[in-house]
Amino acid sequence: MDYAFGETSADPTHDLNQPLTVLSFTPPGATLPAMTEFELIERCFGGWSLTDPGLIVGQGDDCLVWQDSAPLAMSIDTAVSGRHFPENATAEQVAQRAFLPAVSDLAAMGADPAFFTLALTLPKTVDDVWLLAFGRRLRELAEQWGLVLAGGDTTSGPVAVISVQVHGRVQHPLLRSGARPGDDVWVSGQTGLAAAVLPNILDPTLPPVPEHWLAAYWQPVPRIELGQKLVGLASAAIDVSDGLAADLGHLAEASGVRIHVDCERLPMETELRTRFGEAVWETVLAGGDDYELAFTAPAEHRETLGSLGRSFNLALTRIGRVEAGDAGVQIRHNGRPLTLGHRGFEHF
């Protein structure tokens, strides 16, 4: 999910409700450090300890060479300054916003993270303090999620553009196309929190919101382990990035089925409903940037899925059902069809 941004000063490593002075992409007098491209790569991305036996040739050659006995799932995400993250976000925040959504795609396929590549375009107003902080945070995230940095590219440009391509091993991938009439529809966690906090990110002077709302935007948690456990249980899956309604629509189209969602079943915090009133349905169903998993599963797996959610201390909520019919999503509130102003984010 993308947004156009102005200024913000939230930092997830501190009190998320308090504005901070952060290093902008355009600090007065700052310039791109006087290093060559290879010096930049070595200082910011060299010497990472994480390795993988499948990586034969990594950083430092014209191509990476990878050999693996398992099929590889691949996904690529691009984040643009002012579009996917605020222009004055901290280096750590930018690393999180660029990296974690790509990892979430691996979760949706039930894949085991293996390696990633990075294409980094930065304006010449970025300094070495920013670059080193970005590299440190990216390294922490890569180690946390088990992804080896296998190569990439760097260049300069008018705005920051960061592309992360992730690869993961997967023997039996979860697809969008497996939903069948009679299946239940499920979602992990809670959707809508990242969208709910956008007004505060755009205007930090607004009344504070719960810190976990801000964390949902700045530090989403890819459901890697859940995705792997869903293999053999779920019939279809998708990660929720553009909005729950929109992404269920993609799943319905791929499967050729009709999905019915009951608003009364949607997981929702009381404070979310209090703040947004009836507009909460738009937030929860069309807000996006959630990076939860939406999936379908035969009804016979209800008890197993309930136990699975408890084992992760993660809510897995049955929110609807799959029926035969024209491909699409029907949302009902109090037994009546609910029409949203929009179903989710459009990238163009």
Binding residues for substrate: 84, 289, 345
* Binding site, annotated residues for ATP: 152-153, 176, 241
| Residue 346 DSSP SS3 | coil
* Binding site, annotated residues: 62, 75, 77, 84, 105, 152-153, 176, 239, 241-242, 289, 345
How many other C-beta atoms lie within 10 A of the C-beta of residue 348? 2
Q: How far apart are CA 91 and CA 74, in angstroms?
A: 25
Q: Which residue has the tokens 């795609």?
A: 105
List beta partners, residue 261: 320, 331
**Beta strand 112-122 pairing with 148-156:** parallel
**From its phi and psi, is residue 65 left (phi > 0), alpha (psi between -120 and 50) or beta?**
beta
CA dihedral 30, 35, 40, 44 (to 10 degrees): -60
| Residue 293 DSSP SS3 | strand
* Binding site, annotated residues for Mg(2+): 62, 75, 77, 105, 153, 239, 242
Greatest Cα pair distance in the chain: 64
**Residue 233 token pair:** 């249980």
Name which of 220, 275, 271 is nearest 105 in CA terms: 220
| Residue 95 DSSP SS3 | helix
Structural contact between residues 119 and 112, judged by C-beta atoms closer than 8 angstroms? no
DSSP letters for 246-268? HHHHHHHHHHT-EEEEEGGGS--
- The CA–CA distances, whole Å, from 32 to 29, 122, 129 equal 10, 9, 10
How many other C-beta atoms lie within 10 A of the C-beta of residue 37? 11
| CA end-to-end distance (rounded Å), the chain | 12
